Structure formats: structure tokens, C-alpha cells
């Protein structure tokens, strides 16, 4: 029992001391690029195992993950549902810094609201045109939230 408590204490201290980037699996350079970039380019995994053509998309970077709001009929969602959640995410441009991630569908109204607040600031020229579609889409299911978690 004493050994278990000691191991737990060591693990707890290590988690407090490790920088967030190490926990999230992103380098400081990638994290900075995600904080400063307007777009990510997502390539999802096809049946053949190859990657799709990168799609430019608005995104939210929050707690070490990339979130996108998209239609449930999009290829990225269809591939996640088909059991092919792996994707490559390039930041800022198709040839920009990139990482591999695992996509999942999440239903989190607080993240949806954070996304919309972030989009209003990040995309001031286009947000007024798309805001109502996002809000209505999340309510009706015509838009879903995809979370991409970086692979270590």
C-alpha cells in the first residue's frame, strides 16, 4: 500500500511539473501556430489509408485540441463514423507545420458557445454571414462538433 501511495504522489507531481505541451503532444511551435493562425487544413483518412486533399476550415484551438463545426454529411465526419478517425492537420497553410490527430464527434454546448465567441473575434469579416447557420445547425443537428486530439 505504501508503494502505491508513493507512485501516486510521484505521478501527481510529474503531471503538475510537466509543461502542457508535453501533455497535449504538441510542440511549442505548433501550439503558437494554432494560437495565431486563421485556418487549419484537415486531411482525413480514406478507405485506402491514403489522406484526402486538405480542406481549409475555420477552427477553435482549446485545451490542446482542435475543434471544427461541420455538417454531418462532410467527408471528415463520415470517415470518423466509419472508424477512420485519423487525420493530418496542417496549420496556417497546406505546407505549414502539421501533426496527426484522432477525430471524434462531441456534443458539448459549452464548447459550441466558446467556438462561436471565438469565431466572432477571429473571423470578423465572415462571421456575421455564418453565425445564424452555426447556431441553428448545432440546435437542429445540421452541424456537428468534431474534436481533433493530437497523437503523441
Does the pLDDT of residue 55 top 60, yes or no?
yes
Percent of the chain residues past pLDDT 70, beyond the cut:
84
What pLDDT, on the 0 to 100 scale, is given for residue 25?
76
Q: Is the dihedral of CA 102, 105, 108, 114 positive or negative?
A: positive
Instruction: Give the residue from 69, 85, 97 showing the smallest Cα distance to 149.
Output: 85
How confident is the model at residue 132, as a pLDDT?
96
Residues constituting the chain: 152
Higher pLDDT, 111 or 5: 111
DSSP code at position 51: B
Average pLDDT across the chain, whole number: 87
Confirm or reject CATH 3.40.50.300 for domain 21-150, answering yes or no: no
Name the pLDDT band for 21 (thresholds 50, 70, 90).
Answer: very low
Residue 33 has pLDDT above 50, yes or no: yes
pLDDT at 3 over 70: no
Exposure letters 41-75 (e unless 16+ CB within 10 A, then b): bbbbbeeeeeeeebbebbbbbeeebbbbbbeeebe
Question: Domain locations in the chain?
Answer: 21-150
CA 152 – CA 149 distance, rounded (Å): 9
Distances (CA, A) of 44 to 1, 86, 109, 133: 46, 6, 25, 24
pLDDT at residue 131 tops 50: yes
Amino acid at each position: 500500500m505504501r508503494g502505491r501511495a508513493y507512485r501516486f504522489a510521484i505521478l501527481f507531481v510529474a503531471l503538475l511539473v510537466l509543461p502542457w505541451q508535453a501533455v497535449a503532444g504538441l510542440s511549442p511551435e505548433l501550439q503558437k501556430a494554432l494560437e495565431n493562425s486563421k485556418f487549419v487544413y484537415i486531411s482525413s483518412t480514406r478507405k485506402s489509408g491514403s489522406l484526402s486533399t486538405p480542406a481549409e476550415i475555420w477552427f477553435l484551438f482549446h485545451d490542446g485540441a482542435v475543434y471544427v463545426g461541420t455538417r454531418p454529411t462532410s467527408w471528415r465526419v463520415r470517415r470518423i463514423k466509419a472508424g477512420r478517425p485519423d487525420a493530418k492537420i496542417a496549420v496556417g497553410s497546406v505546407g505549414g507545420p502539421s501533426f496527426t490527430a484522432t477525430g471524434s464527434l462531441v456534443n458539448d454546448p459549452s464548447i459550441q458557445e466558446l467556438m462561436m465567441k471565438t469565431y466572432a473575434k477571429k473571423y470578423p469579416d465572415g462571421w456575421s454571414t455564418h453565425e445564424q447557420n452555426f447556431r441553428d445547425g448545432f440546435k437542429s443537428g445540421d452541424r456537428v462538433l468534431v474534436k481533433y486530439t493530437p497523437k503523441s
